[in-house]
Structures are given as C-alpha cells and as structure tokens.
Structure 1
Amino acid sequence: MDIQNHYYGHSAVFALYCGSRRLRHVSGLIQHGWTVSSPVTAQFGDFASWGPARRRLSWTSSSRGWSPDDAGNFFSDGTPMLDAIGAPYLYLLDAARANGVVPERTDRTLVLPLHGTALLKVDGDHVAYAQMVRDKEGPATVCLHIDDLHNDEILDAWRSAGHDVVSAGDRRDPQFIGRILWMMSVAKRVVSNRLSTSIMYAAVSGADVAIYGPDFRLGANAAADPGLVMRDLWPEFYEESTPQDVLTKIAEAELGRGDMRTPQELSRLLGWESHTVVPFLEYWASGPLTKAQTVLGLKKIPEGAHATEAGLSPWHWIRHPLQHLPSPLPKLPAMAAVEPLRP
C-alpha cells in the first residue's frame, strides 16, 4: 500500500517467514521503526482517512510511550486501528539463531549516532562525539545512515578520529536488515547518543548497550524532539548501572516479542491469503496521491503527525521526489546476516 512497508527489508523478512517466493504488496501499513508515540501518528498519519480495510500493523501492544487503548488509535466507529505483530527484526534474529548462522562476537564497539534524513538535518557536533567515543571505546565501527554518508563533514569527523565507517545501505534495500543483524551480532558493545531502534535491536541481540554523548537535535522544531521524553520513560537505558538483562527484557517488550504471529496469522494480517491487486494499485496510484495531498496541506492529518517536520514547505519533499515515490519491488533475497557496506 505504501513504500514504508518495504523499508529496511521488513516486507522481505515477512515474505520469507510466510513461505512466499517473492515480495508482495501489503493490504495495510507496517510500522518501520521503534517510536516514542503511537505509530498511528508517528508513521501512519498520511493515511489517517483510510478505513479499517487497511490494517495498521504495529510492532507491539505494550510500549511505555503509548497504549493501543488511547483514543487516537481507534476509527470513528470504535474499531481498533492497530494489530500488533512483532518487529521484523525479531523474526530474522530467531531464524538466524535457529539455523546457526549468527556471526561470532568481537571486542569492537559499534556506534550509531543519531542520524538525519533527506528532509531533516541533525544539529550536533560529530567531531566532538567522534573524539569522545575514541577516548572511551578506542577505535570503533561507526554505522552512518545513508543520508549522513553523503555529508562530507560528518564522514570526515568519524574517519579523522580513527573509526571505521560502514553502512547498512539504502532503506529500500531488502538486505538492510540483514546488515543490521550482522553488526548487532558481531559487536560486543553498541553505543548511541539517543535511544533508538538500533539500541533496541542491540539489546535483544545480546550486545551490551550504552547511551552517551552530545544531545543532537533533529530538525528545526526543537519542541517536537523526543529526546527528553525518552530519558523520562526509559531511564534504565541512560543509567550505566542497569544490568544488561534488564535492558534486554525491556527491548523485547518494545519490539513486540509477545505479539509475534504464526506464518498463517501473519499472512492473513498482511492480506496475503488472496490476490494483492488492490494493494498494488494503492501502492502505485492512490497511496502517492494521498501523501502528496498531505504534503500540500490539502488533506488533514492527526494532531502530532510529522511533528519534527513542522514548518517545512512542500519544496523540501519536491527536492527529493524519488525518496517518496514508489519503485518496483526488488527480488526477494536470501535473508541472513550480511556484512555491512563500506563507503
């Protein structure tokens, strides 16, 4: 139905888990990252007017940051908007462990700084953070987001401090999540300056995790930045004395370990028990039109949706049209732990 269903290899993981030989369009929306607020506003806001026939598939039903019982998570007729299915990363991690293909850990630290996007730039001192990590961890492996890799100042800041820079690739690359699995599996310790999806992945993968460093800001709307909210709701991740097994348990809940589905249940929720002609047409036609209408302010979105993008003009989207338009679905890869890319 929308390109976000195929971000980071999520649809590929689900297709393989359900026994499909190809990627398929989804009759609904798949949450594509861990959120501090409900995915209804954080990720699905563009499609707020689309009815119950299109499922909103969240990772969990037990986040500290939001509850599925909140009023904003229901349609006007009282139907719940969200069906929890568990994060795709958990399915891939379980499969890799069951097949004995998880890489062995090394002593090296992995660092994932808070990243920007094509629309939103990060305001922060990468030079200072790179040196802080060098002093505390020694030479580390630093995974930069694909958009930050195109920023020479950010890239040089980490390389100049003696760190090895890698990438998980473009977010539409179906092997993205396999590269993340590799990095989370080989790193003994995973560090970031912000609680994020990657820290949750590291915790459930068995790595030690730590959060420290300069408080980067994402976008111009500082009031919408969730950094302080994260510290209040998940203080355990910011306290050095918290046992790692406690963090693992929290991450399991936030990623929806208890909400994972059987292949049959997941196929039904994804709309894969029948043809996907309607989701195909929505993906190529009505979905992009709906998103264009929200960008232009012609369609109402829920309060709080796109909060960090407040104040951006439509020109910010138009400057990067290919990042927001649909593209042919890639071939289904062999999903496994994959070595990261080196720029």
Structure 2
Amino acid sequence: MDIQNHYYGHSAALAHHCGLTRLRHISGLLQHGWTVSNPILAQFGDFSDRGANRRRLAWTSSSRAWSVEEPISYSSKGEPLIDAIGAPYLYLLDAIRAAGKLPERTERSLVLPLHGTALLKVNGDHRAYAELVRQREGQAMVSLHVEDLQNPEIAGAWQEAGHTIVSAGERRDPYFLGRIVWMMTTSKRVISNRLSTSSLYAAISGAEVETYGPEFQLGSNAEVDPGAVMRDLWPEFYQESPDQAALREIAAAELGVADQRSAEELKRILGWDGSTMSPFFEYWLSGPVSKAQAVLGIKKRPEGAHATEAGRSPLHWLRHPLKHLPSPLPALPPLAPIEPLSI
C-alpha cells in the first residue's frame, strides 16, 4: 500500500518465488531495508495510525520488531498483524541458485562505502578510503549509491585511485536486487567501512566480508547515527580477521532465513491469493495522503520513528516530492543475476 513495498525490486523477488508473471500490490507494509532499530518504527512511522488494520511484514522474528516499543496488534479475526517472512534478497538468491544461474565467483574485491540519502548526507573522507582500499585490495569494483554518484568529489576520489565504479541503480529500479545478487556472488571479498545490509547480503551469499576504513558520519547529528551501536551489537564484523562462519550465522538471523515462507504461505500473507483492488486504491490514494500528512506535520509520528531524520523541517522532504509519490508498477524483471550499471 506504499511505494516502499516496491523499493529495490523486493516485490519482484517475492513475485518470482510465488510463481507470478507480473508485479502486484502488497496488502500491508514490507520492510525495505535492514535496520539497527525497530524496523516497524524506522520504516512504517508514517502509517502508525493504520496499525490496527495494516499488516507489517518484517524480515525476521528475532529483529527489533518484536520489542516492547511496538506490541503485536491483532486483526478482527485474531491474526497477528506483524509477520516475519525473510528478506526478499533470500528468495531471489535461492531462486537464481535453483535455476542454475549463479555466476562464477572471481578474485575481485567489491567495496560499498557508507552512503547517504536525499535527506541525510554522509560526512567522510572518500579519498583516504579509496587509497586505503587500493593499498589493501588492489584495483576494486566500487558500488556507489545514486546520491553519491551525483557528487563529483565522491565519484572522482574512487576513479582517481584506479577503481571501477558501478551502481545497482536507484531504489525504484526493479533490477536493483538482481544487480546486487550479481555483485555479491561474483566477488570474492566484499568490503565496507560500516556494517550494512550489503554486508549481510555478502555473508549469506558466501563472499568473504570485512569491515574497515575511515569512520563516516551519517547526517549532522552524531547522537542518532547508529554506527557505534553496530560495533557494540555485532563486533564480529569489525574484527581484523573475522570468522566468516560467524558472520554468515549473524546474517542468517538478521535476514530471516528461518522465517522464509513457502510460495503458498507468502501469497496468503501478501494478499496475492485474491483480489488486490484494495491495496491498489491504498497505494494510489490513502497511502500518499497519509504519508503527506506525516511529512507536513499534520499527523504525529510515534516516538522513535525515523530517528535519524528527527527534527528536519518539511522543506527537506518537499525538495524531493516525487521520491515519495507512487508510480505505475514496472514489468517483472527476469529471474537472473544482472550486471550492474557501469559508470
């Protein structure tokens, strides 16, 4: 019922698992990224007043979604309105593997520096990081976020150090996750300067994962930047020679391997076993209105929602209004790893 359900090609990955030939609207709200905090608050705060009606779909039952901050609510039929279904990446990786389409792994290292968003900028020395990677990894493939690609200083720092720049695309691109699968399964080593969703994807895909480099700060408020929390909760990722088996075990828990569902179960939970007319109208009408009210301050968000963006005026969102609006669903991408965009 919101555009975030289709971010990064997640709905496409689930559609492949369910045997669909086209994308459909999801009945509920799907977690679109890994988060240190409660994903229900972090990603669904704009729709808090609809908690009694809308199912929330988290990646894992061991996540912060089941904390005391957000008690589980139930439908009129007595069904819990929080379900764990596993990360969409897991379904796409499994489907590509089952189809025998996984590419061969190379000796290349892949680097994914901590990135910002349209609302939150990252402060850090990309030039120093690019040189450090060159010393330790040699020439590497560097996947930059679309926001960083638009910054000539960031892209230039990596290019001048001799690295190859690629991109998985922007978050509404349905090919995004297929490109991530290609990068994670063709690279021997995956490097970042902070634990991230990509670190978990790499570990579960069988790549060697290492976290090193200069500290980058996300946003201007260091108190809400989750970097220090990550080190405290998952020090295994920050060791000099990490135990790769331990990292895979953490990744499996955080991505929800144990919470993956069968095609029939998933179709029922997503509302794909019947008409999606109601989610269609929510996607185009009530969803955008509810989000606009939250952005403009007309509707109060719950305490702790969107913590890293707290205190920002509505003008920050209104500078990029189209990023929040729904758009027609694209065609279902092919079931295959997809080479990233070359820059």
Count of aligned positions: 341
Q: Specify the code of the residue in structure 2 equivalent to 1:70.
A: V
What's the CA shift for 1:100? 1.4
Match of 1:327 in 2: 327
Give the gaps of 5 or more residues in structure 1: none
* In structure 2, C-alpha distance between the alignment counterparts of 1:105 and 1:55, rounded to whole Å: 39
> Given that residues 61 and 67 in structure 1 are in contact (C-alpha distance below 8 angstroms), is that contact kept between their aligned partners in structure 2?
yes
Question: In 2, Cα distance between the equivalents of 1:121 and 1:71?
Answer: 28
1:22 partnered with 2:22: yes
* CA–CA separation in structure 2 for the residues paired with 1:291 and 1:125: 35
Deviation at 1:67, TM superposition (A): 5.3
The residue matched to 2:50 in structure 1 has which SS?
A: coil
Report the alpha carbon displacement of residue 76 of structure 1 after superposing the two structures with TM: 8.9
Greater mean alpha carbon deviation, residues 175-184 or residues 215-224: 215-224
Checking the alignment, whether the CA contact within 8 Å between 1:7 and 1:174 is kept in structure 2 is yes
Q: Which residue is 1:75 aligned to?
A: 73
Are 1:88 and 2:88 matched, yes or no? yes
Bigger Cα displacement from structure 2, 182-191 vs 36-45: 36-45
CA contact (8 A) 1:73 1:81 kept: no
Letter aligned with residue 331 of structure 1: A
CA deviations 1:188-223 (Å, max 9, x no partner) are 000001100000000000000000111111112211
Q: Structure 2 CA distance, aligned partners of 1:193 and 1:266?
A: 35
The 5 A counterparts of 1:89-128 are: 89-128=89-128
- Which AA in structure 1 matches 2:220? A
Once the two structures are superposed, the pairs formed by residues 43-58 of structure 1 within 5 Å of their partners are 43-58=43-58
Structure 1: distance between partners of 2:242 and 2:159: 31
- The residue that corresponds to 1:143 in the other structure is 143
Q: What per-residue deviation string (whole Å, max 9, x for no partner) do you get for residues 237-281 of structure 1?
A: 111233211111110111000000011110111011111111111
Q: Which runs of 5+ in 2 are unaligned?
A: none
CA distance in 2, matches of 1:79, 1:27: 14
Distance across 2 between alignment mates of 1:73 and 1:134:
47
Check 1:80–1:219 CA distance in 2 against 1; reply closer, same or farther (3 A cut): farther
Question: Does the 8 A contact of 1:73 with 1:80 survive in 2?
Answer: no
Q: Quick one: distance in 2 between partners of 1:33 and 1:302?
A: 20
Superposition pairs of residues 218-297 of structure 1, within 5 angstroms: 218-297=218-297
Distance 1:79 1:295 in 2: 30
- Report how far residue 52 of structure 1 moved: 3.6
**Contact 1:221–1:310 (CA under 8 A) maintained in structure 2:** no
CA–CA distance in 1 between the matches of 2:254 and 2:29? 18
How far residue 315 of structure 1 moved from its aligned partner, in angstroms, is 1.1
Q: Secondary structure at the match of 1:43?
A: helix
Residue of structure 2 equivalent to 1:342? 342
**1:221–1:309 contact (8 Å) kept in structure 2:** no
What SS is found at the alignment partner of 2:165?
strand
CA pair 115-218 structure 1, distance change in 2 beyond 3 A: same
Aligned to 2:170: 170
Matching residue's letter, 1:104:
E
| TM-score normalised by the chain length of structure 2 | 0.96
Q: Could you tell me the percent identity over the aligned residues?
A: 66
Q: Which residue of 2 aligns with 1:196?
A: 196
Q: Which moved more, 1:233-242 or 1:4-13?
A: 233-242
Distance 1:237 1:295 in 2: 35
Q: Could you tell me how far 1:74 is from its partner in structure 2?
A: 2.7
1:83 deviates by 0.5
Question: How far, CA to CA, are the matches of 2:13 and 2:274 in structure 1?
Answer: 19
Deviation at 1:292, TM superposition (A): 0.8
Structure 2: distance between partners of 1:309 and 1:81: 26
The C-alpha deviation readout for 1:259-310, integer Å capped at 9, x for no partner, is: 0001111011101111111111111111111111111111111211111112
Q: Which string of whole-angstrom CA distances, capped at 9 and with x for unpartnered residues, describes residues 24-81 of structure 1?
A: 1111011111111111111111111103432100000113xx2514241433999754
Query: Whole-Å Cα distance in 1 between the matches of residues 59 and 52 of structure 2?
Result: 18
The letter for the 2-side match of 1:74 is: I
2:7 counterpart of 1:7: yes
**Letter of the 1:89 counterpart:** Y
